[in-house]
Structure 1
């Protein structure tokens, strides 16, 4: 959620990368986790073998970012998220004319085919906010938004800017029970973002201040469409690991495997940072 209230959004679709990748183009890694540094900081990845499927790399700063999903021996999803190389944080200027990626833009990070088959997610949208966004004193610090979308990129791109004419779609909320009971969204144009949707915040927002990390929900035109970890740059650079459950809806429109925990961790050998969702539960 790049600007909680006012800033417009545009999507950077990196060539045809998002639409043309396939399982054969991505990496599939069978790994014994006891001997693999890539997975070494994930508490839920035990000593038995998992298979990691990686999406294509996308440029970020001087480095790269890519999606990945790990699958257990029974074919169930174990964890999904982003792998970010340390160089990715080295060219994130605060000057909007030089920022990589530009302030106000979204980088689409494709998911590997296996991830779309085993989870409700379609793609990840990554935003860098060098000045944060409103409300002042809450989210106005440099941070990343990581949207795990459950709609296609085409549907996401079609979400318009808020206006009196589009207000009905933004404020057509999912039925009772299809968003977490302890989340809310203000009425009107507040938190309504083009090419994103309506953003939902924890009712006890003060418990997350001063802001370093938080989980946001999103909806549009009656549907729950994304979950979004928001994490400050300072927290990511601190190399402090984190894992916590996040609130769940009572009902789900689509049956499938839904994560219940979000995680931030670092690999001391590679220097990579991981932002992930895990602890999947099969929902009817």
Structure 2
């Protein structure tokens, strides 16, 4: 089959799927019952919203469209569609019984979301022992062997580039993600020592990140590098609630922790936000979310949530920056998203 014929067949299939999805949605919208009454009574039935249309049978056939607001609930119930423009998918890696895939959503150069999407199968079959993948280790006691329980850091990590066109065309410093699964959690003790995912959204170049070496200083960081991690950005570039607690890691950098978070005031850790820094620069944004929280999203015992990100007074690079992080379960696709959203354009100062 010629390349031209394959393109024609692919286009025909996509057009067919789009027509089928719209027909299904319109049919469902006029069926008798509460759905029809809601549609007719809706004061916003003429308002158009952006959605990514996808049929259940072929969820990868995605099409960005504008639809009347009253159709949104029907589309989410009857198809594999989701809110906002269709995602551009970046790199993907296996984890558990599923995968982790970087994604981005944008319209006319403004990001709507960047994040990681994972089928709920990813939460099954996760590794637990040893507690890390062994990529960041150091023989701290000098006995000639590496103890995987005490002399390795960073859990099980996956570095995922965002889509190339997004990285090229959207003015934002965020270019890639690093998603770490920590089966035993990490310090501080009795705070973050629950199984959880760290979702790092990096502003720092990957080569610079990887150059942060393991060694004998706190959290298994090379001592020279540890001193670089202690050089914090100017106060105006970091919210005042975020403190340096020496929570450094090789291949990551320093983690500034918000001591006003509920997990430091008698509440169990479920999710939180961390600012990453290295050698006077803000280097990553990081939501941390427990395995239990994601399980509860998946089984419906916990609702989707978006949480405001405390903002700095100034920014080191110009571009689009998020104002909230979100955790969602797409019931119609049986997948979870962890994302940064609510982007606002900031000028460097």
Q: Normalising by structure 2, what TM-score? A: 0.65
Residue equivalent to 1:160:
213
Please provide the CA RMSD for this pair.
2.5
Greater Cα shift, 246-255 or 152-161? 152-161
Residue 182, structure 1, aligned to residue 241, structure 2:
yes
Rounded to whole Å, the distance in 2 between the matches of 1:272 and 1:145 is: 18
Residue equivalent to 1:66:
101
Aligned match of 1:78 in 112, 117, 120?
Answer: 112
Residue equivalent to 2:38:
none
- Residues 77-117 of structure 1 deviation map (CA, whole Å, 9 limit, x = unaligned): 11111110111111113222898x99733111221123323
Task: Name which structure has the greater RCO, CA cutoff 8 Å, separation 6+.
Answer: 1
Cα 1:39–1:136 change in 2 (3 A) is farther
Runs of 4+ in 1 over 6 A off after TM superposition: none
Aligned match of 2:329 in 241, 266, 272?
Answer: 266
Aligned match of 1:200 in 249, 252, 256?
Answer: 256
- 1:214-253 equivalent positions in 2, closer than 5 A: 214-239=272-297, 240=302, 241-253=304-316
Rounded to whole Å, the distance in 2 between the matches of 1:234 and 1:122 is: 28
Residue 210, structure 1, aligned to residue 268, structure 2:
yes
2:329 touches 2:336 (CA, 8 Å); kept in 1? Answer: yes
Cα 1:183–1:212 change in 2 (3 A) is same
1:138 touches 1:209 (CA, 8 Å); kept in 2? Answer: no
2:88 touches 2:104 (CA, 8 Å); kept in 1? Answer: yes
Return the structure number with greater helix share: 2
Aligned match of 1:109 in 138, 160, 166?
Answer: 160
Cα 1:191–1:105 change in 2 (3 A) is same
Cα 1:238–1:146 change in 2 (3 A) is same
| Structure 2 gap ranges (5+) | 1-59, 67-71, 136-147, 149-153, 215-220
- Residues 219-277 of structure 1 deviation map (CA, whole Å, 9 limit, x = unaligned): 00010000111000000000121111111111111100001110000011221000001
| Structure 1 gap ranges (5+) | 1-26
Rounded to whole Å, the distance in 2 between the matches of 1:98 and 1:164 is: 21
Paired positions, count? 247
1:185 touches 1:200 (CA, 8 Å); kept in 2? Answer: yes
Task: State the Cα distance separating 1:128 from its structure 2 match.
Answer: 0.7
- Residues 122-174 of structure 1 deviation map (CA, whole Å, 9 limit, x = unaligned): 21111111111122210111101111011122111001233443343111110
Larger radius of gyration between Structure 1 and Structure 2: 2
